[in-house]
């Protein structure tokens, strides 16, 4: 992992400021191909701006030393488009402390890739990172994605590496869920940006304020979850809803939204329920900080 970070981490402390542009596409809810663009201006780990655009929908993400701000032009910004930022980040944070258990080599047609597998965590899930055996470049990663009824493998692959300064960064990338392609992207521009417009880093009006922590923060913890009673006639297989929200410094949920909208009445009842939940807020070095979290709202079906 350290070798891959030295080769490809264009956001490391001594890396030059840059402007990155990419195009991406994914399959929409009606099985149509949806296209979008991603732009990032990065000067340091304390100052950056990311903008993701799909049709007339827009997400803006601005970072500062202790906070970052997130603004969506619509409440239900497409889930796959929201994943593009993570796809472009390529490597896990340097603060991530993985314990590796095994190494697997791809034997056909020849052993060009080597994959390291982590030990099972508290949730009994594992991660994998695959590297080019000769160069050490990161070729792919697999992480668990917890859903209401199961856990799936979310994998991303990287290819067509090109030089940027002393770094090698992929120009083509794609992500899959259990081998079904979900999103693909191509980097169209990666250039030095020595003097970016300082106005780019002004927090957008109306943005959600989130905390940033230089060390591993303690995430929010649920302390009270009043159960919602859904109407009769809703089948048990849709009795769970995944909700994204921000837990503020007082432990209250803010800006809640359903991750994967399905049944409108079911989603609305789940949102109403979550607004009554209470949390122990996330902390950074012992100080409360706002942090996003995804929670599963379980129903009690009426009879």
> φ, ψ for residue 266 (rounded to 5)?
-65, -45
Mean pLDDT, to the nearest integer, of 105-126? 73
The pLDDT score that the predictor gives to residue 302 is 43
CATH number of 214-301: 3.30.2420.10
pLDDT tens figures, 28-51: 777 788 999 999 999 988 899 999
Q: Locate CATH 2.50.20 in the chain.
A: 2-201
> Mean pLDDT: which of 53-62, 204-213, 226-235 is highest?
53-62
Asked if the model's pLDDT at residue 161 lies above 60, the reply is yes
Domain 2-201: top CATH class: mainly beta
The pLDDT score that the predictor gives to residue 21 is 98
pLDDT tens figures, 231-267: 555 555 445 777 888 998 899 998 888 876 667 777 8
pLDDT tens figures, 261-303: 667 777 888 888 888 888 998 888 888 888 888 887 775 444 3
The pLDDT score that the predictor gives to residue 110 is 53
The pLDDT score that the predictor gives to residue 226 is 66
Share above pLDDT 70 across residues of the chain, in percent, rounded to a whole number:
86
Between 105 and 88, residue with greater pLDDT: 88
pLDDT tens figures, 146-158: 665 667 788 999 9
pLDDT band at 227 (very low <50, low <70, confident <90, very high): low
The pLDDT score that the predictor gives to residue 61 is 93
Q: Locate CATH 3.30.2420.10 in the chain.
A: 214-301
Share above pLDDT 90 across residues of the chain, in percent, rounded to a whole number:
34
The pLDDT score that the predictor gives to residue 87 is 93
Mean pLDDT, to the nearest integer, of 131-137? 92
The pLDDT score that the predictor gives to residue 107 is 56
Average pLDDT of the chain?
84
The predicted model scores a pTM of 0.81
């Amino acid at each position: 992992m350290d070798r891959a970070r030295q080769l490809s981490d264009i956001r490391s402390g001594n890396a030059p400021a840059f402007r990155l542009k990419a195009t991406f596409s994914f399959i929409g809810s009606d099985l149509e191909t949806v296209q979008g663009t991603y732009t990032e201006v990065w000067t340091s780990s304390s100052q950056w701006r990311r903008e993701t655009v799909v049709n007339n929908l827009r997400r803006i993400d601005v970072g500062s030393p202790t906070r970052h701000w997130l603004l969506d032009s619509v409440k239900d910004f497409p889930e796959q488009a929201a994943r593009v930022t993570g796809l472009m980040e390529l490597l896990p944070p340097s603060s991530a402390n993985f314990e590796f258990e095994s190494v697997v080599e791809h034997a056909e047609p020849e052993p060009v890739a080597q994959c390291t597998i982590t030990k099972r965590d508290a949730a009994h899930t594992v991660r994998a990172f695959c590297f080019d055996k000769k160069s050490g470049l990161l070729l792919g990663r697999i992480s668990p994605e917890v859903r209401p009824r199961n856990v799936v493998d979310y994998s991303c692959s990287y290819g067509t590496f090109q030089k940027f300064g002393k770094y090698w960064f992929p120009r083509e990338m794609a992500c899959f869920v259990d081998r079904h392609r979900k999103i693909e992207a191509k980097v169209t521009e990666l250039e030095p940006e020595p003097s970016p417009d300082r106005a780019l880093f002004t927090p957008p009006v109306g943005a959600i304020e989130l905390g940033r922590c230089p060390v591993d923060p303690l995430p929010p913890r649920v302390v009270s979850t009043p159960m919602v009673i859904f109407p009769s006639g809703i089948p048990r297989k849709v009795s769970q809803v995944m909700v994204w929200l921000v837990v503020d410094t007082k432990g209250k949920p803010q800006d809640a939204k359903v991750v994967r909208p399905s049944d409108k009445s079911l989603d609305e009842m789940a949102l109403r329920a979550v607004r009554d939940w209470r949390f122990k807020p996330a902390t950074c070095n012992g100080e409360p900080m706002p942090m996003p979290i995804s929670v599963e709202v379980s129903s009690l079906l009426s009879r």
